[in-house]
Amino acid sequence: MATVTHSICVYCGSRDGTDPAFAAAAEQTGQMLATNGWRLVYGAGDVGLMGRVARSAQSAGSATMGVIPQHLLDWEVGKRDLDTFVVTETMHERKKVMLMNANAVVVLPGGAGSLDELFEVLTWRQLGLHDKPIIVVNVAGYWDPLVRLLDHVVEQGFAGQDTRDYVTVVDSTAAAEAALRLALS
């Protein structure tokens, strides 16, 4: 296992989605974390993109930390062969433990859970509760509607440009790696 220099929280789907580029990006993300000696912190699932990121990170030698609430152990098939496996009582506690054990956040394609996680860490950043980088990997344009929504929220006066600037949007795992290296240096 590589020496851990930073921990990166990855939010992504518990499904694979329809575009094979999503699965490829998840696997590339796991490899990228290991290449840099960064630990994966994620939702401990062994299905969908979550499982792909974790298996890829593990096979490339990355340290791993999974955090899952008790009620999702069966549904998301908790991946128990991680270096650190934490079971929480609630979803809220899961999100807090994940963020508090990470130096940065990376968001891959996902559904409602990934959106919930992203908006919570963005809100916490806006409120000054953390200053960790938030990087959205816009694989195959998946997050284009989200980017437009964030811009719309600012344009309509419900957030300042600083809130929008807390989210770095990139189009590939390589660009996410570059953004992380810059932010964590």
Work out the number of other CB atoms within 10 angstroms of the CB of residue 57. Answer: 27
User: pTM for the full model?
Assistant: 0.95
pLDDT exceeds 70 at position 76:
no
State how far Cα 57 lies from the chain centre: 13
CATH topology of domain 6-184: Rossmann fold (3.40.50)
The domain segmentation of the chain, as residue ranges, is 6-184
Q: What is the pLDDT of residues 106-161, one digit of tens each?
A: 999 999 999 999 999 999 999 999 999 999 999 999 999 999 999 999 999 999 99
Q: What is the pLDDT of residues 37-69, one digit of tens each?
A: 999 999 999 999 999 999 999 999 999 999 999
Q: Which residues contact 133 (CB under 8 A, 6 or more apart)?
A: 104, 105, 168, 179, 180, 183, 184
